[in-house]
Amino acid sequence: MKILVTGASGFIGSFIVERALELGFEVWAGVRASSSRRWLTDARIRFIDLDLSDEGRLQRSLETFKAEGGAWDYVVHAAGATKAKNRDGFMAVNRDGTVRLVTALAQMQMVPKKLVFLSSLSVLGAIHETDYAPLTSLDTPHPNTAYGQSKLAAETFLRQQGDVPCIVLRPTGVYGPREHDYFLMAKSICQHVDFAVGYKRQDITFIYVKDLVEAVFQALEHGVPGQNYLLSDGKVYDSRDFSNLLQKYLGVKRVLHLRAPLWVLRAVCDVSGWWAKKTGKTSTLNNDKYHILKQRNWRCDIAPACEELGYVPRYDLEAGVRETVAWYKQEQWI
């Protein structure tokens, strides 16, 4: 079986490639010429240059592959942007890149048996902030971030097109080795500082990258085209759980826990966003980040994934953090 993984050089994509090799697939890593191949060193990996921003280059790459090897049995579309200068930047990558890939596969008669699209829980937005009810796959999406809007736009296209059978996965916050955003919290803990915002109860969910990868392959085997599945480790945490576990496994004895009101975060994100716009750079603290950190309820219902895909999370937060910190130390990130 041949499988294409787009975004293969990224955090999640590289783990999907590794697992596909373990399962015996003939693995094609879709990367750009400029992409790092740091995590793609296995000699069995076959590479294809996929520039999803350029319709002509994408077409030529697919034509070359079709002439030499035919088509892929499965496609996992993990390529996407989690940071961008503005909403248009997110749309250009997450929506338009998806449209180009799927349209090209259909036009060239290279339709896979199934395509799995990695979306995000953020497409649903803050729709259960008062009752703390779990988000569900049946909820009407109301994304409150540009990132979430771009992922929803891609989902909408996939749902409306009828050529390629697609399954959508909506994971909550994904953490693990090779990931950089949650790593910033580990660095902060090493400096004996933990920073949180907001005084109202906050229910947070996580998924370890290896559990997400298992869900990808379960979706390829059992997923129903046209369906979306929410994913987490099945548990709910408060805002201190992650930092406390980092402190435990990093072996940091004392940490100063600081908590600021939301208006402070709003001000910092506004200033940071203004500076990023002025300098033409992306910023970690921006309007999207404000809404993500502001949201008080990230509970989600994973029952459909468990029942239909056979998804069973193997890592709770403690097991995942323990393994992640061990990797940080092994790779000398800390």
Model-level pTM greater than 0.85? yes
Q: Helix 262-279 crosses helix 287-294 at what angle (to 10 degrees)?
A: 160
Checking if the pLDDT of 197 tops 80, the result is yes
Q: 281-331: per-residue pLDDT in tens?
A: 877 778 888 889 899 999 999 999 999 999 999 999 999 999 999 999 999
Q: Is the dihedral of CA 285, 290, 295, 299 positive or negative?
A: negative
According to the model, what pLDDT value does residue 85 have? 85
Q: Treating both helix axes as pointing N-terminal to C-terminal, what angle do 96-107 and 55-69 enclose, rounded to 10 degrees?
A: 40
Domains parsed from the chain with CATH numbers = 2-176+206-234+298-316 (3.40.50.720)
Per residue in 83-120, pLDDT tens? 888 899 999 999 999 999 999 999 999 999 999 999 99
Q: Which band of pLDDT confidence, cut at 50, 70 and 90, is reported for residue 279?
A: confident
- In whole angstroms, give the CA distance from residue 78 to residue 92: 15
**Percentage above 90 pLDDT, the chain:** 81
Chain segment 159-178, per-residue pLDDT in tens: 999 999 999 999 999 999 99
* pLDDT score at 277: 79
